[in-house]
A and B are shown apart, each in its own frame.
Chain A
Amino acid sequence: MAYLFQPDYVRYVCSCGSVKPVSKIYFCRHCLKVRCGYCVCHEVDSHYCSNCMENLPSPEVRLKKNKCSNCFECPCCFQTLSTRAAPAPVRAGGNPSVEDTKSLAKPPPKKVYYLSCSFCRWTSRDAGIPDQFVATGGWPEQENPHLARIVALLEYHKILASRERQQSERKKFHPKRTYMQFEKFAMSSVMVRKRAGLCPLPQSQQSDYPQPAVASEEVEELSPDIFTQPLDITKITTLEQRLKHPDVQAEEINQLRPQHKQFLMKRSQRCRVCEHNVCKPEYSPQSIKFKIQLAAFYHIPEVRIVTCEPLRIGQTSELLLKLCNPTQHQTQIMLFPLSTSITPTTVTAAGTKEVDRENMQLGCESPNLLPSLVRQITVTEDPKPLKLSPQAEIILPESILILPPRDDAAEYDDTGDTHNFQDDPKLVVWRKGNKAVIRLLVKPNEDEQIEEGKEITVGFVMQYGYVNTIATLEHKEPQKLDLKIKLFLSIGKLVGST
């Protein structure tokens, strides 16, 4: 798709206020609203190693600290390391040729393995790591030297916490305690209460208390060599290399050790309002397909800019747009000014009626029926402020454009079937299949001070007919709705004034 590399000339305004190209938005078929990466709930579906494609259930991923046990990353350049085999060195002292002739069945030649980076040529041999006799596993693991101490501190803090919980329980029965004895420290009463609340008082020495750390007067002095010895910068690690291994942060290149490769994840996206998935990938790491993919691209008419005449202040220019209906149903498109409300409407016998699926859905299942504990609180986020404002006026047509459904077979049909639509010749300049090109007029604003060469944006609201095929309690039949979406188009740079 050309979208991947193109600047975003045509952008749609999501329900959350984000402004994105059609390729980056979703369409929730349940809320009938546009959603995007910013306003959906992302969830981690599965973890996998991008090198060996192994995927593990999440408890195991946690146990392995989200790292692949087989694959390593180069500690210098962070690319994946490959395992290299080499013939085992001949044992010194012995006489292998004699042994070989003695044994009838020749043992397979021994091999040793080492890790090597094909990008920067780092090898585990450079780092002084002994070669291994098995291809996978067996590489020495570096353990944090402070682990035992930290575990003791962790245990101790758990005990402190339970004590704090007990104390706060007790406090409920003696709410008015005085802490006068602390006044001499001139601490605020707030801090005194805190002190009473949690602090590990030295007298409460217990067997579970880890040895407190002892501060020392001795400090490691700066080596006098630093003033005289030349520094070979190629042997000193960069900060980036150090931070990849936080507990070691080796200063010298030859102290670097290979690091286990981190798992990547596949994630699904869920509409935050109705909790339906708008995107769910297949579980297997090899698959690039989706179980659910409600991309807006399949539901909302796509708008592309064909051409736009040079833009001059106070002069009308012709703007040609190509519209495409991606759905299986015929749609009617109308364009309105930006200020139009974008609440969906439906035409019934009684006339045009506003529909708000979001509230309708919540209304369906009376929340009062659920016990208050079970009911999920809905978290709402403020909409993003819309920073775009158009610098040109756009003259919108009053007639409706009808686009037939998508028909893949018609793509190859050159007979020029125009479906005999009664098009407004001033509006429609070309049509074929589910696509049509329309002509609009734009006029850069005179009152605004726009510099030459500045990118000009125009905006409008597009109303499109949508057929909702998801059956709900009220609507068993497909329901016809008119949905609206705001669009912003970058139509080109200002050439100059008349």
Chain B
Amino acid sequence: MSLYEGIRLISDKQTVVFDIGSAYTKYGYAGESVPRGIIKTEVKCPESGKIRKVFSYEDSQDLYQLLVEFIHLLFFRHVVVSPKDIKVIIVESILTPTEFRDTLAKVFFRHFEIGSLMLAPSHLVAVSTLGVSTALVLDVGYKEATLIPIYEGVPVLKAWQALPLAGHAVHECIKKELKTVLPNDGSDVEKTIEDIKVRTCFVTTIERSLKLQTDEPPIAPPSVKYPGVKTITVPGSVREKAFELLWERDNDNLSVPTMILDAIVKCPVDMRHPLAENILLIGGTTMAKGFLPRLKSELLTLLKSNLYSEKLKISTVKFHKAPSKANYTAWLGGAIFGIADLPLRCLTKENYLMSNRVPDWASLIDNQKSDSLINSM
């Protein structure tokens, strides 16, 4: 442990950083290089005893109770800290529904009585892990793939992209393929599918992918005997095809690579080259074997195609490597971003209880407004 880290660890102010993803939650302290842990975003319902995903909420009241249970677990089982009056940073997508953001803030302030809350936009803070100010940030997580370009430290909101092409879609694909062999009892199936995906599936090359659709497909990779109560055989074709839907262009020509190119098209001309040459991939699904080389070849192929060759004069794409694993890069961004003591960006308990609401992103990003808030105090 470095001296620096040691001093910081025992200094009084501890800021807890959460990145509550739709499948996994990353938690830890600001200023640390790695999250203390990554756990599933789910709770055991105290009444029914069933496991419920926090994001499967019915309405905001239901969400409130789910979040109380879940965050209680986070504070007392995992982070192990008394939440009263502490500073919390939430790394979250700008595209998070307002209902979720408002309810989350209410839980933190009203139930756990935290001192202050900072909402860190995930795409923006992910760039903090690079020491650059321009990057095209693509987040492929569980529920959806989202993209926001960051140019000179500013999110270019009008170029945002979001598609439901992420972990969940891959799971559905595997589920469909293995329907006949999978056990059919609730939550365990989802766990098994995730495990099969992580341990056996991969993203194939663009060349093989093209051949897969022809009459003479390449020889499938070896099948895998997956142990369990009942041994399941995962055919090689399932291993190879699980991620294919991320690249398939449906009728609207929408796929993960077109998200990147469409976003670039929406940006002013002088931003385009810097963005294409500063791509940052975050989110667990981008860690799939073969994801990055496939994305690169898909992008280069598309750039040469009729669809984009006229619109975009780009011939190279470059990718960043964050000092982290992609599934916690956004968290790390929050942990780096949050080390800075920026009262302007924090919503204090006093202000929250006075206004009873969370400013939306447009005004959160707006410094002027937070200035006036401070002045009016």
Enumerate chain A residues within 8 angstroms of B314, measured Cβ to Cβ: none
Q: Interface code B174-206, partner A: CB below 8 Å = 1, 0 otherwise?
A: 000000000000000000001100111011110
- Shortest Cβ distance from A228 into chain B, in angstroms? 7
- Shortest Cβ distance from B319 into chain A, in angstroms? 6
- The answer to whether A222 touches B289 (Cβ under 8 A) is yes
List residues 303-342 of chain B with CB under 8 A from any CB of chain A: 316-325, 327-328, 332, 336-337, 339-342
Enumerate chain A residues within 8 angstroms of B221, measured Cβ to Cβ: 226-228
Is B33's CB within 8 Å of the partner chain A?
Answer: yes
Q: Interface code A243-281, partner B: CB below 8 Å = 1, 0 otherwise?
A: 110110100000000000011110100001000000000
Is B172's CB within 8 Å of the partner chain A?
Answer: no
Is A150's CB within 8 Å of the partner chain B?
Answer: yes
Q: A222-B203, A233-B225, A247-B324 in contact; A41/B316 too (CB < 8 A)?
A: no
Interface residues on A, range: 35 or more
Contact of B226 among A191, A233, A272 (CB under 8 A): A233
- Shortest Cβ distance from B27 into chain A, in angstroms? 10
Enumerate chain B residues within 8 angstroms of A188, measured Cβ to Cβ: 157
- The answer to whether A238 touches B198 (Cβ under 8 A) is yes
Q: How far is the CA of A239 from the CA of B205 in the complex (A)?
A: 24
Is A478's CB within 8 Å of the partner chain B?
Answer: no
Taking chain B's interface residues, is the majority helix, strand, or loop, or is none over half, making it mixed?
A: mixed
Enumerate chain A residues within 8 angstroms of B56, measured Cβ to Cβ: none
- The answer to whether B218 touches A150 (Cβ under 8 A) is no
- The answer to whether A216 touches B109 (Cβ under 8 A) is no
Contact of A379 among B82, B268, B353 (CB under 8 A): B353
Q: How far is the CA of A200 from the CA of B224 in the complex (A)?
A: 50
List residues 63-114 of chain B with CB under 8 A from any CB of chain A: 65, 68, 72, 75-76, 80-82, 84, 109-111, 113
Is B248's CB within 8 Å of the partner chain A?
Answer: no
Chain A: CB-nearest residue to B375: A172
- Shortest Cβ distance from B166 into chain A, in angstroms? 15
- The answer to whether B153 touches A198 (Cβ under 8 A) is yes
Q: How far is the CA of A168 from the CA of B345 in the complex (A)?
A: 12
Is A97's CB within 8 Å of the partner chain B?
Answer: no
Q: How far is the CA of A231 from the CA of B324 in the complex (A)?
A: 27
Is A59's CB within 8 Å of the partner chain B?
Answer: yes
Enumerate chain B residues within 8 angstroms of A381, measured Cβ to Cβ: 110-111
Q: How far is the CA of A144 from the CA of B9 in the complex (A)?
A: 16
Q: A42-B82, A43-B84, A222-B202 in contact; A217/B318 too (CB < 8 A)?
A: yes
Q: Interface code B211-225, partner A: CB below 8 Å = 1, 0 otherwise?
A: 000000011011011
Enumerate chain B residues within 8 angstroms of A369, measured Cβ to Cβ: none
Is A202's CB within 8 Å of the partner chain B?
Answer: yes
- Shortest Cβ distance from A237 into chain B, in angstroms? 8
Is A195's CB within 8 Å of the partner chain B?
Answer: yes
Q: A222-B203, A226-B289, A247-B34 in contact; A59/B10 too (CB < 8 A)?
A: yes
- Shortest Cβ distance from B17 into chain A, in angstroms? 13
Q: A247-B34, A379-B109, A379-B110 in contact; A215/B80 too (CB < 8 A)?
A: no
Chain B: CB-nearest residue to A234: B227
Contact of B128 among A153, A172, A231, A238 (CB under 8 A): A153
Enumerate chain A residues within 8 angstroms of B366, measured Cβ to Cβ: 190, 193-194
- The answer to whether A227 touches B33 (Cβ under 8 A) is no
Q: Interface code A402-415, partner B: CB below 8 Å = 1, 0 otherwise?
A: 00000000000000
Q: Interface code A192-235, partner B: CB below 8 Å = 1, 0 otherwise?
A: 11110111111000000111110111011110001111110110
Q: How far is the CA of A231 from the CA of B225 in the complex (A)?
A: 9
Enumerate chain A residues within 8 angstroms of B279, measured Cβ to Cβ: 215
Q: How far is the CA of A222 from the CA of B152 in the complex (A)?
A: 33
- The answer to whether B342 touches A165 (Cβ under 8 A) is yes
Q: How far is the CA of A430 from the CA of B139 in the complex (A)?
A: 69
Is A312's CB within 8 Å of the partner chain B?
Answer: no
B contact residues, total (Cβ < 8 Å):
107
- Shortest Cβ distance from A350 into chain B, in angstroms? 39
Chain A: CB-nearest residue to B31: A154
- Shortest Cβ distance from B317 into chain A, in angstroms? 7
Task: Report which residue of B61, B199, B202, B277 has the largest number of chain A beta carbons within 10 angstroms of its beta carbon.
Answer: B199
- The answer to whether B224 touches A246 (Cβ under 8 A) is no
Contact of B367 among A154, A194, A216 (CB under 8 A): A194
- The answer to whether A246 touches B35 (Cβ under 8 A) is yes
- The answer to whether A62 touches B277 (Cβ under 8 A) is no
Q: How far is the CA of A234 from the CA of B84 in the complex (A)?
A: 45
Is B130's CB within 8 Å of the partner chain A?
Answer: yes
Contact of B344 among A168, A217, A238 (CB under 8 A): A168
- The answer to whether A160 touches B227 (Cβ under 8 A) is no
Enumerate chain B residues within 8 angstroms of A262, measured Cβ to Cβ: 80
- Shortest Cβ distance from B376 into chain A, in angstroms? 13
Is A475's CB within 8 Å of the partner chain B?
Answer: no
Q: How far is the CA of A220 from the CA of B219 in the complex (A)?
A: 23
- The answer to whether B323 touches A194 (Cβ under 8 A) is no
Q: A165-B342, A194-B365, A385-B61 in contact; A216/B110 too (CB < 8 A)?
A: no
Is B171's CB within 8 Å of the partner chain A?
Answer: no
Q: A150-B336, A160-B340 in contact; A190/B365 too (CB < 8 A)?
A: yes
Is A318's CB within 8 Å of the partner chain B?
Answer: no
List residues 220-241 of chain B with CB under 8 A from any CB of chain A: 221-222, 224-227
Is A5's CB within 8 Å of the partner chain B?
Answer: no
Q: Interface code A20-44, partner B: CB below 8 Å = 1, 0 otherwise?
A: 0000000000000000001001111
- Shortest Cβ distance from B341 into chain A, in angstroms? 6
Enumerate chain B residues within 8 angstroms of A153, measured Cβ to Cβ: 128-129, 131, 323, 336
Top 4 nearest A-B pairs (CB, nearest first) are A161-B340, A199-B153, A146-B323, A215-B318
Q: Which residues of B come within 8 Å of A, CB atoms?
A: 2, 4-6, 9-10, 14, 24, 26, 31-39, 61, 65, 68, 72, 75-76, 80-82, 84, 109-111, 113, 128-133, 151-158, 194-195, 198-200, 202-205, 208, 218-219, 221-222, 224-227, 268, 271, 277-279, 287, 289-290, 292-294, 296, 316-325, 327-328, 332, 336-337, 339-342, 344, 349-350, 353, 362-363, 365-368, 371, 375
- A-B residue pairs in contact (CB < 8 Å), sample of 18: A65-B9, A147-B5, A151-B33, A154-B336, A157-B337, A160-B340, A185-B151, A186-B268, A191-B154, A199-B133, A215-B277, A226-B290, A230-B222, A233-B200, A246-B35, A265-B80, A377-B353, A379-B110
Beyond A161-B341, A168-B367, A381-B111, 11 extra complex contacts between A and B, CB < 8 Å:
A42-B82, A43-B84, A187-B154, A190-B366, A200-B133, A210-B131, A213-B130, A222-B289, A227-B218, A233-B200, A236-B199
Q: Which residues of A come within 8 Å of B, CB atoms?
A: 38, 41-44, 47, 59, 62-63, 65-66, 144, 146-147, 149-154, 156-158, 160-162, 164-165, 168, 171-172, 184-188, 190-195, 197-202, 209-213, 215-217, 219-222, 226-231, 233-234, 236-239, 242-244, 246-247, 249, 262-265, 267, 272, 377, 379-382, 384-385
